[in-house]
Structure 1
Amino acid sequence: MADIGFSNILTVNIAGSPLKSPEDKKLVGGWVDFGAGVPGAFQLTFRDSKKDVLAKLGVEIGVPVIIAPLSDGQGTPLITAEVTALETDYDATGTFTVIRGYDRGHRMLRQRRVAAYKNKTATEIAVELARKSGVPIGETQTTKGHYEFISQANVTDWDFVQRLADENEMVMSINSKGLFQFVKRKRAATAPAPIPPGAPTGPRASGGKSGIVLKGGEEITRCRAAVTSADQVAEVAVRGWNVTTKQSLINKVPANDNPGLEIGTTPAAVSKKFGKAELVETDTPYDTLDEVRLAAESLADDVTASFAEVEVTAHGNTELRPGVAVTLQDVGKPFEGKYTVTAARHTFGDQEHYQTFMNVSGRQWRSLYGLTSGGGGSSARLPSVANALVTDIKDPKEQGRVKLKFPWLDDMYVSDWTRTVQFGGVKGGGIISPDVDDEVLVAFDRGALDHPYVIGGLYNGVDKPDPGDVPVYDATRGKVTRRTLSDRSKNRLDLLDQSVGLQRGVRLATGDDRLTIKLDRTKTEIVIDSKGKVSIRGSGAVAINAGGNLSLNAVGSLTIRSGGPMNINAASMLSVKTGGALGMTAGAAMSFTAGVSLQMTAAINIGLQAATIKSTGLLTSNLKPVLTIGGI
């Protein structure tokens, strides 16, 4: 198959119109830069002695631009972008106007977003965010599994989708037509086989197979390749914790090779010469085995990707862009082989050939945008602690979990069910949960927004503790005098420790103070004070024992009832006194028994229908016998 070449002539379409004479003659240079994980960028430089190029071309911020090198009378699109910056530059060499811009992916970098996504796949989230940014959708592939809950923690849509891509072994990019893509990474093994000696070379010299073969001394004008054992390990491991099953999670992946490299050696081959080593990642909290597995595979890919790096300068080729599999031939061993491109820079200029600078560097940020933006990484992790407001307490698991919002972060974002610090314990401990609209202090597990923990409540200028009748501290001695556990209804438990006064001990009170139980440390007594009824009940026996005197006092009536026999026993004298009448009624026989004598000193009126008196001795009245009974 014949070689396909490209000239150094650019076809440029601005705002829907092709660049025409004489302005096309003023274009003296340009470049297009691509990097994995960052938007594509371009620059066009015009000689502009009259400073009228922008006006004649109708260029302004936001107009669309399509750039393509000319080949066989046609321009294969290299980038579909839009203008984001305009510059003028003049010195002794002349006056120049510069037009800069990015592909549509830059729109996803314009806004930081705080959002939560529930029960969605990475692909669904990526497509949703691309559409919100106005980026048209191209090819997408479905990822395995889904996120039960994941937070976009005040990072750009681009950075968040890039994170999803890394975690799911996908590639996010904008293609030459400006369409968003979210697909699996193309393996280096898909590159064509080396070309036999004497056969034609070029972009499609592989006999119709997709991919490119670049030969040293022909397409390649410069090559720098390196293979290193630095940071290579035998295996990587990622650990996590499953809250539902209360079990640790771990997944190990051998770091043997990398899908983006297929050359004369492997990461495993160079690392084993120095002994076995393992890399364990614990910086990010993971909750499920699927998350741990994907993270381990992604980490292994990161480590092995740095095993080999290539920088190639080749004759210009629009097909050289991130994600494309290429074969390098005649560059020496062990560097010959197949690679997946991670960055490409296409340059054009007066009296210069169209060239492409290609990089293979794994996920290392080598594009101009990646370097100047600090790598396109996400923002710093959240602070270790922050305040939040409780929005929901209806925990379906009844574990005291709550949902939170963070007013300092976003008005709409609401967390997933968040665990609260409790006493804990297996089938024990306790639950004291915050209430809706309470301000609480939150800690973030390793800085992750979607892993908060409520560690306590906070007072503020509106929400204040109940002042109580005992001050919190003794201003004179500088000591705490009251510690209180209370709810919103003011039902409370007070631990009192006044150095001066009677308020020492424990007090349990209802919110209306109609029922109070005091454990008085000063008087060493227990006081139950109720404005209503006090009941003591026991399903079995109830015993009240006093080491000293026992008093029962009632302002009203005092009633003692027994469902069975009632026994009143006194070790010595039993005295029953009443200010009025004393009545005793028996439903059956009534018996009075005295060990010595029985006396009644008041006047007694006895009315009987019939009486039977039995005596074994003399019956007297006023010390005189009235009746002698012979013992009948």
Structure 2
Amino acid sequence: DSASCWVRVTQGWNGNGFGFMAIPRIGQEVIVSYLNGDIDRPIVTGCVYNGLNRPPLDLPSAKTRTTFKTKTHKGEGFNELRFDDAKGSEEVFIHAQKDIKTQVLNDETHNVGHNQTHHIKNDAHLRIDNEYRVQAGNNISLSTGQKLHIKADDALLTQSGNEIHLSSGAKVVIDAGSELTIQAAGHFLKIDAGGISSSAAVNMGSGSPGNGSGWGGKLPDMLDKLSSINVTEAEKVLTTPPEKICISCLMKAALGGSAMVIRGQS
């Protein structure tokens, strides 16, 4: 006695095992039509907002926005996909209340015309099964609050067109299993199992050390705060409930094959 029969809901696009699906929830106001005017064949053809159920946009100021926003079941969160077509402020906004999962079976391509900023508040893991390439037209800066580990199972090759500067506040250890060679200005110093070899005599107690440039990297820019546009004070003021359902009008509309608006009750 407290529930109606199951009613089909029209969807924007559908097929066998694919398509769009959005089920009205308790408390939403829906439009009910009848196939061929048959009262035993009701179908929900849409949803409408009212004084209790406000749009997820602050209108009319947000009239250029198109939004698909859900609400966490038995919770206060939401997921949202929003488009803003205001000239000069065009934007696509995505909000995930918890996780975002993406699966690409072949290639994925991103082309960013200006800057890209990421802020990860916990860990980041990247695993590549084949080859990884990075190219920067200007500088690359790496900074860590503790240790930086780099490992190559075969060879670690570093090439600089001008300078390589190694600096440590305490010590620098170069450990080679079989051979170490230092070469500069046509001279070399080699250490191997046979001993220490030098291309020229070593001047002990003379000369002065050279200087390096030192670390001059930069830290990443801070990420601009992202926020979802929620309904403002209007949702506190516009609390007028929709009109009560007229039973006689409901039956007349059903018999005449007209559409009706029905408010769900929790």
Judging by fraction of residues, say which structure has more strand. 1
